Chain A
Amino acid sequence: MLTQLHLVEQNLNQVILGKSSQVRLALCCLLAEGHLLLEDLPGMGKTTLAHALANSLGLSYRRVQFTSDLLPGDLVGMNIYDTRSQQFHFQPGPVFSQVLLADEINRASPKTQSALLEAMEEKQVSIDGETRALPKPFFVIATQNPLFHAGTSALPESQLDRFMFRLSLGFPDKQAEHLLLQRDSSTSRLELLTEQLSAEQLKTLQAQVPEVTASDHLLDYLLSLVHASRHRSDMLPLSPRASKAILRAAKAFALINQRDFVSAEDVQQVFPYVAEHRLDPASAAQESRLSQLLLQQTPCRI
């Protein structure tokens, strides 16, 4: 199954050119059952990545463009009175899909944002007192414009925390962009992506992640990183949820790298993407100053 996952990765790299590490991290996030926050300027390929992921995993995919007048009902769905049957029946919103692309999440009102984030955490939504489970797997890829853009309202720390990874694709290098221009048909390529990994297989893989071994010494190292953030005034402390997320991400990363144990390098690889937006919510996604600081100042004895 891992080979299929690597085929997925190859496919993605065909579409998102020159961003193999980000693609791998995105897959890693997916495997770790976390949600992904992509922060970038418009036109950097955020939507393409989300779309490509959904396509190649054979998942149902919905896209919601967040605007300031988007209401929670528009997202989770609502009970509509059917005059013919004279009954209310539930009209599910776009959130009932396996991959939800929440585009420009920081354009929506806080109320809508929090409705989505609740769904992300609980993996279920309650409408008119009725709880409805979301499909499995449920993977939200939210994109947001950098905060300084007009008409954005920043996600509060508590909600940023719900995203396991925050990534930034960044500009492609010259070679990749040259290739991109040469093809000039990325959408058609996106359609060409075939399902390489079924939803069932993905579930199996996701179930393997917790089985990856993390030795006591590795946990000690991870904790020393987390604890280092708790005695400093220049960053927010990392919560236990954050340390869980780091471990889960590292395990997923190890799995992608075909190992059944987590190494300190895995932790170091994922740490900036998992920790930075928790250490400093106001930071931009491209930077990882505080997490790098922690990595450099925490001795690693293993």
Chain B
Amino acid sequence: MLGQKRLLLIWSGIQFALLVLLQQAFAGWVSAIFLLLILYRLFSVLQAKRPVSLLLVNIVAGIIAVGFFLQLKQAGVLHFMLQILLLAATARLLALQHLYEARQLVWVHYFLLASCFILHQDMVVAVFILLVVLANLYSHFRLFSPASARLNGVQLSRAMLIILPLWLAMFLLFPRLPPFWQIPNTNVASTGLSDNLDPGSIEKLVQDDSLAFRVEFDTGLPARQLLYWRARLYEDFDGRSWQVNSWRKDASRNRYSSRINNNNSAVQRYRIIAEASQQSGLFALATPVGSSQNVFIAASGMLSSLKPVSQRLSYQVSSVLDPIARLSEQEQLMNLRLAPGNPATEQFAHSLKQQYPQPAALVQALAEHFSQQPFFYSLTPPRLGANSVDGFLFDSRTGFCSHYASASALILRYAGIPARVVGGYQGGVWHPQQGYLAVRQREAHAWVEYLDNGVWQHFDPTAAVAPERILNNLDSILPDDERALLYAGWRQLEMLQTLRLQLMHLDYYWSVWVLGFNDTSQQELWRNIKQHLPTIGYVLLLLLIVGLLGGVIFTVRSRKPSHDHLASQLLYKQLADVLSNKPSAQPISSYLRHVAKTHPAHYEWLNQVITLYEQAVYQNNNVALQQLKNVLQRQHTELRDLRRAIKNT
């Protein structure tokens, strides 16, 4: 059995797949050790070498295990356990000699494959894991089947069909328990907006086509110019770049119940499925007023998750499309702070302030300034000097949203109006058929909020320069050469593009229907079932009736007209329990003679039956057939006794 090269190759392959899947849990040198072990096994299989001696394997595995133990602190218990398990599997494969060892190995593989889902919930990876599980299942089958046995496709699909309802029921009804262990943070770089906004950071994001989050709206899709997804507040300015204030970072850890200023505004309810970003900052429209349990609303309408988002996260938010209320005096002061430099800007701000004392009028004038003066929107702005805002406003006049937002916020601060830069995403791609809005990193955007009448008013200077950017998307306002920059290389291939899109939709359904199926959805399912209980009952009844009818039709159809003699039919019916033990090749009379011999109490009437039966069946004697019927009727009680006697033996 174990000489089977193919099985050893399959197992080596499975272990290699496991190594790739569990890569995140392993430090580099750990992976290297596993790779060496697996490669050695592969090599020895292909060279048809004998398995390594158990003693040697034990020693090597022991040393490696000690090494793993030494880095337990850095790896965390969970990763350590995974390492030890995989080590056990690879070492076992090296010294595999007996059948029972192979059976253990197969089970360890199942366990390891299941634990891959701790690290991956991606649809594509899930499909891959399924394939590896199938490979393991095949090796399992081979372990128990005789060498000549072949996989029977029909049987296999029938087995799958039978197990399908159970599988669905397990998925739908199995309680969704909270994780038993803390998943350690992986050392994967965070994605999305960072805590630092310098003029170039958004330009880089815009070239990233990957998904940031998806939104389903319970209350219709709002107008496009309202789709400002707030993610970060940049309030510290150092003369060149904007940072998130450290107080703000602390405040984002605390819940904050926001007051709703007026109740007239419509409430937008929507559900966001955020991609893993390794950051806790999340996205919401305007002023969020309520959210699901797994996220909370922090100060200034910022939404945050309980821990950094390391897996796709789905949450529910309801927002009022009203400006954010002022938090405190301190916040107001914080957003007036200035940094040295940019004298020309300061001068420009002062002149504006003299002309327009009211903040709203000043902002209006600023927007007009951007739209009337030759300002350009570009992905490739020229490099700016030391006073970056001066250089931008009065020299290059070419920039990206972060340039405009940064300059506007600074002008407003110089004019004595508290202002800050907001980082987030604007717009998104609406997929009407699937009913969701896909917001990619490309939709990253920066705009300004200024304090007026105790609320933080929204001001997007980019809208003044390039209103199409807001109303359509980024592509529409860029010149052709810059658009090419967005769609580098293969992304231009249309077919691949649609394929990618389809995959994204599929992935969406996966995350909504499979990953997003939590205890809340389960309860909802039960509620729904309860609600529609009568309907479900009718449907089940209908199905039952249809099934029964189908079954009846099937049995009637498949029942061939019996070729048996009438006498044989009679005996098969009346003596069914007796004849059920008859070897199929034995004639009825010969078997009954045997029964008569073994049950002497019934010898007489059985003999009578045999004689009459033989006359009926071998001579077509109808009188004998009638007599046989009579005898069987008369011997009713005897027959019951005989049946009982046969059952007891």
Contacts and interface: CB of A to CB of B under 8 A. Distances in A.
Interface of A: 213-218, 220, 260-265, 268, 295-302
Nearest to A298: B585
B614 interface: yes
B585 A297 contact: yes
A265 B613 CA distance: 14
Given A261-B614, A262-B618, A302-B617, A217 B585 contact: no
Interface string B548-572: 0000000000000001110010000
B585 A296 contact: yes
Given A301-B564, A302-B565, A217 B587 contact: no
Contacts of A216: 620
Contacts of B585: 295-300
Contacts of A261: 614-615, 618-619
B588 interface: yes
B590 interface: yes
B616 to A, nearest CB: 9
B520 interface: no
A265 B565 contact: no
A216 B617 CA distance: 9
Contacts of A260: 619
A301 B568 contact: yes
Given A263-B589, A263-B614, A302 B564 contact: yes
A218 B618 contact: yes
Contacts of B619: 213, 215, 260-261
Contacts of A264: 587, 589-590
Nearest to A299: B584
B584 A217 contact: no
Contacts of A262: 618
The 7 closest A-B pairs by CB, nearest first: A264-B587, A261-B618, A299-B584, A217-B565, A261-B619, A215-B618, A300-B587
Nearest to B613: A302
A294 to B, nearest CB: 9
B610 to A, nearest CB: 10
Contacts of B617: 215, 217-218, 302
Given A263-B618, A295-B585, A302 B568 contact: yes
19 contacts: A214-B618, A215-B618, A215-B619, A215-B620, A216-B620, A217-B564, A220-B563, A261-B615, A261-B619, A262-B618, A263-B589, A263-B614, A264-B589, A268-B590, A296-B583, A296-B585, A300-B585, A302-B568, A302-B618
A213 B587 contact: no
Contacts of B618: 213-215, 217-218, 261-263, 302
B565 A268 contact: no
B568 A217 contact: yes
Interface in B446-480: none
B586 interface: yes
B584 A300 contact: yes
A300 B564 contact: no
A261 to B, nearest CB: 4
Contacts of A213: 618-619
A285 to B, nearest CB: 23
B622 to A, nearest CB: 12
A302 B563 contact: no
A51 to B, nearest CB: 35
Contact of B587 (A214, A263, A296): A263
Contacts of B565: 215, 217, 302
Contacts of A295: 585
B208 to A, nearest CB: 69
B568 A265 contact: no
A7 B588 CA distance: 31
B614 A300 contact: no
Interface in B386-419: none
A217 B583 CA distance: 18
Contacts of A300: 584-588
Contacts of A215: 565, 617-620
B123 to A, nearest CB: 52
Nearest to B565: A217
Interface in B614-634: 614-615, 617-620
Contacts of B590: 264-265, 268
Given A301-B563, A301-B588, 12 more contacts: A215-B620, A217-B564, A217-B568, A261-B614, A261-B615, A261-B618, A261-B619, A295-B585, A298-B585, A299-B584, A300-B585, A302-B564
A15 B316 CA distance: 105
Interface string B407-446: 0000000000000000000000000000000000000000
Given A217-B565, A220-B563, A265 B620 contact: no
Contacts of B614: 261, 263
Nearest to B584: A299
Interface string B575-604: 000000001111111100000000000000
A263 B614 CA distance: 7
A300 B589 CA distance: 11
B585 to A, nearest CB: 5
Contacts of B586: 300
Nearest to B616: A215
Contacts of A220: 563
Which of B589, B615, B617, B620: most chain A CB closer than 10 A? B617
Contacts of A268: 587, 590
A288 B101 CA distance: 46
B625 to A, nearest CB: 12
A216 B618 CA distance: 8
B563 A265 contact: no
Nearest to B615: A261
B588 A302 contact: yes
A218 B564 CA distance: 11
Contacts of A214: 618
Contacts of B589: 263-265
A263 B610 CA distance: 12
B375 to A, nearest CB: 92
Which of B563, B564, B615, B619: most chain A CB closer than 10 A? B619
Contacts of B564: 217, 301-302
A298 B619 CA distance: 22
Nearest to A221: B587
A264 B568 CA distance: 13
Nearest to B567: A302
Interface in B33-86: none
A213 B584 CA distance: 24
B559 to A, nearest CB: 15
Contacts of B620: 215-216
A295 B587 CA distance: 11
Nearest to B588: A302
Contacts of A218: 617-618
Contacts of A297: 585
A263 B590 CA distance: 10
Nearest to B590: A265
Contacts of B563: 220, 301
B609 to A, nearest CB: 14
B580 to A, nearest CB: 14
A183 to B, nearest CB: 35
A268 B590 CA distance: 11
A23 to B, nearest CB: 22
A301 B564 CA distance: 7
A139 B54 CA distance: 77
Contacts of B615: 261
Interface in B266-318: none
Given A215-B619, A302-B617, A265 B587 contact: yes
B564 to A, nearest CB: 5
A298 B614 CA distance: 20
A36 to B, nearest CB: 26
Contacts of B587: 263-265, 268, 300, 302
A74 B159 CA distance: 74
Which of B589, B614, B618: most chain A CB closer than 10 A? B618
A214 to B, nearest CB: 8
Which of A265, A295, A299, A300: most chain B CB closer than 10 A? A300
